[in-house]
Chains A and B, each alone.
Chain A
């Protein structure tokens, strides 16, 4: 059974500093996704990571994937208030085309 663990579950960030969110998963996976959710809103796709060593960057966010360690990281550089949201990783297990297993989410609050 595929299990996905995110940590931390809550992250209080100071503006201008760097932080990392971790996503561990328990079985072999072909694809890993990162989503952002603002309070009371739907999910917005951030990144799709498809292979070992994949790295994607968009603005202050950078995601990477290590399939051997079954670990993905979402790195936030020089945090700003607009990045306050909940971030989810989701894993598509091998042979489970389209069926995502989500982590519990990391609630990020960025303060001055």
Chain B
């Protein structure tokens, strides 16, 4: 199993450009998540999906969009990039293990918006 994969690993955008960060998992997990990591702030949830066809906003959804048309894929779209979206983005998927949800994280995408 490849686990959770993310592409690209690095990306530089100009302000106003749009792009999609790709995330895929091959573990047949129902739930998937997008986080951003900024220095000194830990990870913050952008969007999550409890199952194929469903999505919901997290703590910091503005400027992003997601869809979940398959179990495996959970792309994150930046609609009009802004310098404030410079960050490291992590995708995760999770499976229920007894009484908790174990999340598995991808390697991350480092995004710079100029």
> By the criterion CB–CB under 8 Å, are A99 and B58 in contact?
yes
Compute how far the CA of A105 lies from the CA of B35 in the bound complex, rounded to whole angstroms.
15
Chain A proximity of B103: nearest CB distance (Å): 7
Interface residue range, chain A? 20 to 34
> By the criterion CB–CB under 8 Å, are B45 and A99 in contact?
yes
> By the criterion CB–CB under 8 Å, are A45 and B43 in contact?
no
Interface 1/0 per residue, A41-78 and B, CB below 8 Å? 11101001010000000000000000000000000000
Q: Which of A9, A31, A42, A45 has its CB near the most chain B CB atoms (within 10 A)?
A: A42
Interface 1/0 per residue, A94-110 and B, CB below 8 Å? 00011111111100000
> By the criterion CB–CB under 8 Å, are B44 and A43 in contact?
no
B61 contacts A by Cβ under 8 Å: no
B71 contacts A by Cβ under 8 Å: no
Interface 1/0 per residue, A5-26 and B, CB below 8 Å? 0000100000000000000000
| Known pairs A41-B107, A42-B108; A102 contacts B44 (CB<8 A) | yes
> By the criterion CB–CB under 8 Å, are A43 and B105 in contact?
yes
Q: Which of B100, B102, B105 has its CB near the most chain A CB atoms (within 10 A)?
A: B100
What residues of chain A lie closer than 8 Å to B40, measured between beta carbons?
9, 104-105
Compute how far the CA of A18 lies from the CA of B31 in the bound complex, rounded to whole angstroms.
38
Contact of A98 among B59, B101, B104, B105 (CB under 8 A): B101
Compute how far the CA of A85 lies from the CA of B59 in the bound complex, rounded to whole angstroms.
26
A34 contacts B by Cβ under 8 Å: no
> By the criterion CB–CB under 8 Å, are A97 and B42 in contact?
no
B50 contacts A by Cβ under 8 Å: yes
> By the criterion CB–CB under 8 Å, are A45 and B42 in contact?
no
Residues of B within 8 A of A (CB): 31, 33, 35, 40-45, 48, 50, 58-59, 90, 94, 99-108
> Can you list 28 contacts pairing A with B, beta carbon distance less than 8 Å?
A4-B42, A9-B40, A31-B101, A41-B108, A42-B106, A42-B107, A42-B108, A43-B43, A43-B105, A45-B103, A88-B42, A88-B43, A92-B100, A92-B101, A98-B31, A98-B33, A98-B50, A98-B103, A100-B45, A100-B103, A101-B45, A101-B59, A102-B35, A102-B43, A102-B44, A103-B42, A104-B40, A104-B42
